[in-house]
Every structure is written in structure tokens, then in C-alpha cells.
Structure 1
Amino acid sequence: MATKAKAIRLSNSSSPNFNTVKSWDRNVLNCADLSANSNKFFIMEKQEGKGDYPYRIYTEYGRMGKPNPTKEGRYYHSEYEMDSDYDSLYNEKKRKYKDIIVDDVGSSAPTQVDVKCKTKKENLSEVKDKVLKLIGKLYQNATSYLVKSIDTPLGKLSATQVAKGLEILTQIEHMLDRGTTTGMEVERLSNEFYSYIPVTFGSRVDYRRFIIDDYVKLNDRKDLLGVMSSVVQAQSTLEQNLEQKYKSLKIKLQALSSRSKEYKRLSDFVQSSKGHNHHFGFDIKEIFEVQDMVNHDRFNPKKVEIMELFHGSRNENILSIMQNGLKIKPASAVHTGSMFGGGIYFASQSTKSANYCWGFNGGVASDENYLFVCEVATGKIKDYTYAQPHLTAAPRPYNSVRGVKSPGGLIHDEYIIYNENQVKIKYIIEFKKTR
């Protein structure tokens, strides 16, 4: 059934006088179609007000990321008329658009993330406490990444919405595993992903860039959802002060004095373990001891031998790691260069791990990057000189795997564990890449 009332632009001089008193039943919808170069949102809301009419359906729509969306109103003398038209309009849009869940209905404490929020403004140059300054930087890294990746007027995305995006990526992953990456199904699922997880395409969509038809693009989208999940977890503290943010992470950090023996030992460890083929250095800014964090109490249940190794990750991921610890790689990561399957990877060369701080594919280092020094329960190690991408666990009776450098193979050793309780992050090295 078509809607009855005519939509009138709010900017139109003939638009009725209407002052909103209350609003409800807000629906946010989005539609992405790569082939059609379409990336549209549609927001609709019931409103009661004072003026020429007591009721109005407010709508706002446009292209994702484009300024000045169209704002319109449909006006009614009765709530019944408004309700009837609202249902008709919603059902019409639902034929093509997807609901964007901005609030977990039924939850006593909705979990959501404002994708345009850049966290509470903090002048970090004035913060004297080194730990609090670190926390401020990490929040800014995570939220600014989201703002750059998802620049939309849709307000808040919920944890449920993130889960929907991950569910679609899982379907795409299964198709990639079967080798069925051609045809309309991958495009349909890609469209569905961008409809549920709004992303700005620009004025004309780059089809090859946005179609999720290989493991590199798949894992890039998984990284995006991972950072979103991290900010979703922290969303209640985004507008709080640094002390409250630090407390919410449930991590205990201590900045080491640059005059301490441990600071000097770790600095020497980083500098002396550089790979011979890596032509960059480290300007170490700060070293933080991780005195406690999630899963520290579960470390090394089998009481096997421990090694001190490096792990690197991009800045936008550090907040999530602080909240959740280092996680086992998804199965699909096996197909993007993980030679020894879905595990957590470490290196004995500081520069090898540091390369993961900015990425190998044209990534650019920041003024501050972060390198983890970890205790790793390697125990009995199984050595391989060639790839074993199928691994999901160390072969019995071994506790871990080592990829051994060899002619025509690995340039540096790397160590892999397959249980998250085999690693304890002990230190965070804040550094700047130097030439």
C-alpha cells in the first residue's frame, strides 16, 4: 500500500510549521549495490509536535558520506494516519534496504558505538602521567580509524550489527574455501555486508577494491569489525576522562624509568635483535610493564619452558589486544601468508615483528608504534623448514611450532602457538621507526 501524505522538504518555504515535542520508532536503513554504484541510507522517525499539524513522519536520506542529505516531512492530523503511513513506507523500503540496528532492544545496557565519535577531546601534550597518555593515544588510534573507515550520518552501530557483519564474512569465507569466488553470490554477500556495515564508497565505487572476493579483502574487513568490537566494548567510556578509561580496560601498567636496569635490558634486546635484512631502526620512547591484564592468571597451565619473543600489531588493534589479549588468527588468515596455520605468531627478531606494526603492503609508520615483548610457553618445539598452512595445533607431543630460516625459505625464525593461554604480554615498547 502506497503512503498517503506527500513528502515535503523541510527547506521548502511551503513546509508546515512544526516544533518537535517527542519522537519514537526511529528506523535506520542502508542499501549498498556495488554494480549499480549505489550506497544509500534512509532514516525515518515518528514525531509529535506543535504547529500546523500534531504528527509527522520525519525522513532523511542520501548517499553515504555525501554532505547535505535530503530532509523531509509527512504531516498528519492523527496518530493513526501517521502509523499507517509509517508502516507502509517502512515495508516499501525494506524490499531493498537493510535495517541498521542502533540499539540492542531488550538489553538493560545497550552496547553501541558512535561511528562519528572521536572520543573525548584530551590535550595529551599536557598529560604528565605516562600510562594515562598511552591510554589516550590508543583510544584516539582506535576511534579515528573507525571515523576514517566508516564516515556516516547513521549515528550508532550496535554489537548486534557488528555480529551480523561477521556472519556475512563467514559465509564469504566458506565460499572462498570452496574456490567459488565468481558469479553473483559473492557480489550479493558483499552488498549485504556493506548494507549492514555502512562504508563510504566515494562518488563512484571502485568495484575491484570493495568486492570481497579474496582473503586479503576478507581479513581487512575482519580487522575493521575487530576494531569496531573493541570500541563497542569501550563505548561507555569514550566521553570519560583518562583515569576512567584506564580503569575500564582492567589492565595494570607501569612506565619503566629509562634509568632502570630492566629498561636498559629491554632496549638492548630490541636493538640487538634486529634482522640483518631490515634496514630501519628504533627510537624507543617509552617502555611499559604489563603487571596484570586479562588471562594473565591462565598463563602456561602445563608449566612448560618459556621464551621471550616479540609480537607486532597495527596501532588501531592495540586497544582490542589490551582488552582481550592476543587471539588465535581466524582460519582464513592461513591464506594470506600465515605459513603455519591459524595460531599466534612471534619472532625472535624485533624488526620482523615491527613490520606488522604498519603492515607490509605499503603501510606507513606512525610517530608512535607499539611492539609487544611476550613470555611465550613454547615448551617442546616442532621445527619446520617448509610451510604447514593446515596446522590448527602443534603436532603431538609438541607444544609449539617453529618455522626455521633456511635457504630458499624463511629469512628469519618464527614461533607459533595454538592456545591463547600460552602467551603473556609482559612489556609494551613505544617507539618511532628510524632510518
Structure 2
Amino acid sequence: MPPKKRKAAAVQPSSPAPPSPPAPAPAPVSAPANVRRGRSAAGKSVDAQPQQQQQQQQQQPPPAKKAKKAKAEPKPKAESKPKVEPKDETPAIGEAQIAKPEAKLNIPVDEMCTLHNYEVYIDDDGIIYDASLNQTNASSNNNKFYRVQLLRNAAGSFKTWTRWGRVGEGGQSAELGDGSLNDALSHFNKKFKDKSGLSWSDRGEKPKPKKYTFIERSYAPDSESEEDDPVKEDPELDKAPGDVIKQAPVSKLDPAIQELMELIFNQQYFAATMNDLNYDVNKLPLGKLSKTTILRGFQALKDLSELFDNPALAQANHGMAYPEATEALSNTFFSLIPHAFGRQRPPVISSNDRLKKEIELLESLSDMKDASGIMKADGKDTEKMNLLDRQFQGLGMEEMSPLKRDSAEFQELATYLMATRGHTHKADYQIAEIFRIERQGEKDRFEQSEFAGPAKDRRLLWHGSRCTNFGGILSQGLRIAPPEAPVSGYMFGKGVYLADMSSKSANYCCAGISNGHALLLLCEAELGDPMHVLTDASYSAGEDAKAKGMSSTWGQGMTGPSQWKDAGCVHPSLEGVKMPDTSAAAPGPTNVPNAYLMYNEYITYNIAQIRLRYLFRVRM
């Protein structure tokens, strides 16, 4: 008897509508949090490059057999699986290709497959026979994909399906095999080895030069199915004669929070953001993008950054001249993270500016992947709970309270926003809403950290990011770039970047992509006393600060607040926290000798230093 195969399909919810005009509503709202992942990466910020640094199924599968450590082979050929390290926050490459016992997976057949009633084969050891391969080669103007799947049907017929072509196009395809498992496995293994230069059992190894790169995919139940039709706004479009369309439950959220959810989870803005960053969502949808693939992308950029800093590494580490090494590493990155270049030649990442742009892409992908997971739901959920309510619940907020516009709290915060616009930024805000917020667990994390106790230098500071990043930011918190990321992508090292001038942070919101809508955070940050003070960029600022026993860097700018006051005037819980006193004196020249930055930067190197306190929804 052939081993059993399992498959599950995800159900994609309808798309939220574009944001509607704001409706004032003061009532606080809270909801229980979802279970959250631990580690978290941050939006970054510099003056020179604002957009570059800040920032389930219808059928449940039966339990899989526990995977063995040595071999992963259906009966015919020995095929060992990659070694799986003990559980860690960062999974081993190829681990997503192994179905865990009791796992609920969504493993779609290639969307252009002409084999009907077939499904992806999973062997007795849980190995999923689905491989996505990419190859980018700038000098040859190649940006190609190769897809190979081992499929079976209920009658026990096995086929190997392959499809190949240029990224962004349908390409060509072929069905291989005589119907037996042995023959299908032989074709699958041969195609994978021919294209990647690696055996299927070694798919987690480093990609071979001038060969295709294996792209690990996520099979989580909230990942979108490649077989799904585009989301339809109107359920009447799918209505068959005699069908009764159930009305979605009415939202229980405050209208202001409903509009915020429509903004954060707006799928049109997601598409526009990915287009702006040249990411090819058709090749690798957000739901299919694995954490490991993002980290491998960061590592490729880190290798490039080290090469920029030390060209001698081209020969020492890569055995080739500097231009060839730069192109080879660029090819690796674009093979891992698919970009939509059309018929244009893929570029070579040969400058820090281009490197920072790609870092921004990976950071945005991390946040948007989290938001994408929140957006997915099965049909039963949407029948029981309004879509916006479920999305809000997915954020896991302890508190989100719209402020009354005539309250002293609102007025103080509005003044801070409007009075700290830099003269070089030309920012023009229209405040739609201000929310007092609290992320679940963030207060406890702070109070149990080394930064608790009497304030040393605690300030209320700005942080801006794309609207599409806020599903990840609110659910996971502000995050610090992973070890795989190149330090040269961050002006003062890897940390969370904050500002005391609102327009500096607003530059990172990229409001044009979201139809003029922008979201800004006010964060309570314990900076410590003293801070590591600099007047110019230093990639090693984080390590230098820690070596001196300091927890933050202050990049001093030419312009900043003239006076500070206690933020207890905004809310009693902020007593002891400082904020600019713009009523006493407007921001002006700081007279800092040799200042290179136009405005102040504050960089924290531990996420426990920060609590998100307010969220501004503005038009720009």
C-alpha cells in the first residue's frame, strides 16, 4: 500500500474596505490577546535616506508519522531529510518541508497544474515533496523560477509536475512519470538535483553557484492558498441560485477603531507597498514566505555589506574578483527574495543606498507577514465575529482608547505633533484620531527589566513606519534587526530609532503609498543616563554604547527642542517622563559643535526599554 497523503486548503477572507472619514468616539476598547511569538525587528531612521532605514482549512490532515532523524524515504529510494536542530526561535533551513505530527498544513498544488484531483505527496516521515527554486543572474539577464512537485491521486497514481519560466510569467510545464511512485520519485529527485546542484536530502545546504536556489515555503494553515480566487468584495458574486448569503455580524468596536483596522489591514495598500519595494508577491505570497527565507535574505545582504567594507574578501571568501563576487551575492539575494523586474536586467547591489532599500524590504516583509496571518480566517470565524473585530482581537492589545478631541490629553499631544515639524520637512498634518494604547505584556516586561525603577532619562518620543507595517508592530512590538542583518544598514547600529521631532519620524510613513494616510507612534523610552553621544554616523554605536555600560545612543542634530517638561500633564501614568515644552519655546538651533545630523536621533538597543503609549492616525 502506498503511504498516505494529506492536504488542507485555506479559506481567504474578504478584503477590508478603504478607510472612511474619521468618526470621533471616546470609549476605550480592549480585547484579549492572541498567543504571540517572542522575538521581535524595528523601523529605523536617518535623515538622508528616510525610506531606507526606519522603519484553514476545509479538510484537516491526519497526523503525520514522527520524522526520523536519519532517513526520510518512502519505500523505493533512500532519501534523508535535513538535520533538524532542537527547537529554537529560528528554524533550520528545510524544516518547514517536514510535516510535524498533528500539524495542520496548507500545501497547495501549483496553481497552473493541469492534473486534476491530485495532491502534494507527503511520505511516511513527513517529508513534503514540494520544491520552489529561483535563479537570478544579472549578467545573463536571468530571473527564473522552477517548480517541481510530486503529486498523487486517490487511485494511487503518482506524477511529477514541473513548471518553469521567467519570474512574473506563467512559463512552461510538464507532467513526468508512468504513474508509479518509484518513477515519480526518480523524476523529482533528478529535476531537483539538475536545477539546484544539490540532492533533495541536502536542500538545506548553501546554494551552488550558477544554480537555482531552494526557497523554503511556509505551510501554516493561515497562509493563502494558491488555488484561491482573488478576494471578492461582494458575496453576491459567488451566490448560486437558492443560496442564502449570511450577513456578517455587526462590529462591536468603536467606529474610530473600525476605521483604524480598515487602514492597517487594507489589502490595496499591501499590494501598493510590495510594488513600491519591487517584491514579487505572485511568486512568493506573504503567507507562503517563511521566517527562514527572510533571515537568509538578511544574511545575503550582510555578506554584501562585509564585501563593501573589505573588498579583499572577494578573493579570500568567494574565490573571485570583487565585481564578480558582488554580482554573485546579489544574485543569491534576488534568488531568495523574488523581485518583479519584468524583462529588465536584474540589478547588482553595489552601493549602500541599494543595500538599505533591500533591508527596508525585508523589515517590511516581516511586519506584513504578521499582519497577513491576522487577516486570514476560516468561514466559521467570519460568521461568528465581524472581520474587523477579529483583526483587532488578533493584535492582542491590552488597551486602545480613542481620545476626546476636547480633552487636555488630546490637546497636549496634538500640540507636540504640530509644534515639532522640522522646517526642512514641510510636513502638513490633519489629525484624524489619537489613541491611548497599551500592548499586552509590555508594561510587565518593562517593570521586570533592568530599566524599571526611578526614571534616569525617560522621554516620550516619535516612531513612524508604513501603515502596512502596523499589524506586525502592534501585535509583536517594535523590533530590532536580527543578527543576520548587516550592521551597515543602520546609521547608529541595530536598534529602535526614535525622534523628538514628529516630522522626522513622519518621513518614514511613506504616506503616498497609503493614499495620504499615516500612522505615528509616541513611545515611552528609558534612554539611561548618560547616553552614548555622537554627532555623526557610527555603525558600531550599539556595541560601543554597551561597552561603556550605556543602553542608548543620542545622535545629536542641529535642530531640536529648546526645553523639556514632565509628561504627567498628558496623563498621570507618564509622570517622570519628559516631553518637549513647545509652549515655553519652539524647537530651534541646538548649537551642538560639528553636528552632522539635521535633527536628533535616539536609538535604544533593548526592546524592554520601550513602551508604546499613543498611536496617531493622520492625513499628510
TM-score with structure 1 length normalisation? Answer: 0.79
Aligned pairs, number: 402
Aligned counterpart for 1:327 among listed residues 464, 469, 479: 479
Contact 1:113–1:232 (CA<8 Å) still a contact in 2? no
Q: CA deviation at 1:311?
A: 1.9
Question: Deviation per CA, 1:377-396, whole angstroms, max 9, x where unpaired?
Answer: 23424484722513212675
Q: CA deviation at 1:99?
A: 1.8
Question: Deviation per CA, 1:257-284, whole angstroms, max 9, x where unpaired?
Answer: 2232211221122112222343232111
Aligned counterpart for 1:310 among listed residues 453, 456, 462: 462
Work out the CA distance in 2 between the residues paired with 1:417 and 1:162.
23
Question: Deviation per CA, 1:346-371, whole angstroms, max 9, x where unpaired?
Answer: 22222222222239xxx767421111
Amino acid at match of 1:101: E
Aligned counterpart for 1:92 among listed residues 148, 173, 194: 194
Aligned counterpart for 1:152 among listed residues 282, 305, 317: 282
Contact 1:58–1:73 (CA<8 Å) still a contact in 2? yes
Gaps of 5+ in 2: 1-113, 122-128, 198-210, 235-249, 315-321, 378-386, 559-590
Indicate the residue corresponding to 1:391 in structure 2: 541
Indicate the residue corresponding to 1:243 in structure 2: 389
Indicate the residue corresponding to 1:178 in structure 2: 310
Write 1 or 2 for the structure with the bigger share of strand: 1
Question: Deviation per CA, 1:170-213, whole angstroms, max 9, x where unpaired?
Answer: 32233233245732222112211222222222112252xxx223
Indicate the residue corresponding to 1:425 in structure 2: 612
Work out the CA distance in 2 between the residues paired with 1:117 and 1:179.
47
CA distance change for structure 1 residues 234 and 351 in 2, over 3 Å: closer, same or farther? closer
CA distance change for structure 1 residues 369 and 70 in 2, over 3 Å: closer, same or farther? same
Q: CA deviation at 1:399?
A: 5.4
Indicate the residue corresponding to 2:600 in structure 1: 413
Corresponding residue SS for 1:356: coil
Work out the CA distance in 2 between the residues paired with 1:174 and 1:111.
37
Contact 1:55–1:75 (CA<8 Å) still a contact in 2? yes
Indicate the residue corresponding to 2:144 in structure 1: 40
Q: 1:330-341 maps to which residues of 2 (within 5 A)? A: 335=488, 338=491, 340-341=492-493
CA distance change for structure 1 residues 39 and 398 in 2, over 3 Å: closer, same or farther? closer
CA distance change for structure 1 residues 343 and 283 in 2, over 3 Å: closer, same or farther? same
Indicate the residue corresponding to 2:364 in structure 1: 227
Aligned counterpart for 2:355 among listed residues 196, 218, 221: 218
Amino acid at match of 2:181: E
Indicate the residue corresponding to 2:421 in structure 1: 274
Corresponding residue SS for 2:421: coil
Indicate the residue corresponding to 1:349 in structure 2: 501
Work out the CA distance in 2 between the residues paired with 1:316 and 1:176.
31
Work out the CA distance in 1 between the residues paired with 2:354 and 2:230.
28
Contact 2:497–2:603 (CA<8 Å) still a contact in 1? yes
Amino acid at match of 1:27: A
Contact 1:375–1:425 (CA<8 Å) still a contact in 2? yes
Question: Deviation per CA, 1:114-143, whole angstroms, max 9, x where unpaired?
Answer: 7999997779xx976322332332233446
Q: 1:75-154 maps to which residues of 2 (within 5 A)? A: 75-95=177-197, 96-103=211-218, 129-140=255-266, 141-142=269-270, 145-146=273-274, 149-154=279-284
CA distance change for structure 1 residues 184 and 151 in 2, over 3 Å: closer, same or farther? same
CA distance change for structure 1 residues 173 and 330 in 2, over 3 Å: closer, same or farther? farther
Work out the CA distance in 1 between the residues paired with 2:338 and 2:192.
19
Work out the CA distance in 2 between the residues paired with 1:161 and 1:116.
22
Higher relative contact order (CA closer than 8 Å, sequence separation 6+): 2
Q: CA deviation at 1:21?
A: 4.2
Work out the CA distance in 1 between the residues paired with 2:284 and 2:481.
31
Question: Deviation per CA, 1:14-55, whole angstroms, max 9, x where unpaired?
Answer: xxx96434442232222111111111111122334599x954
What is the identity percentage for the equivalent residue pairs of Structure 1 and Structure 2? 25
Work out the CA distance in 2 between the residues paired with 1:47 and 1:383.
58
Aligned counterpart for 2:431 among listed residues 261, 284, 288: 284
CA RMSD of aligned residues (A): 3.6
Q: CA deviation at 1:426?
A: 0.8
Indicate the residue corresponding to 1:193 in structure 2: 333
Q: CA deviation at 1:244?
A: 2.1
Work out the CA distance in 2 between the residues paired with 1:342 and 1:321.
17
Contact 1:115–1:152 (CA<8 Å) still a contact in 2? no
Work out the CA distance in 2 between the residues paired with 1:291 and 1:119.
35
TM-score with structure 2 length normalisation? Answer: 0.57
Corresponding residue SS for 1:57: strand
Indicate the residue corresponding to 1:376 in structure 2: 525
Corresponding residue SS for 1:430: strand
CA distance change for structure 1 residues 167 and 386 in 2, over 3 Å: closer, same or farther? closer
Corresponding residue SS for 1:281: coil
Corresponding residue SS for 2:150: strand
CA distance change for structure 1 residues 73 and 169 in 2, over 3 Å: closer, same or farther? same
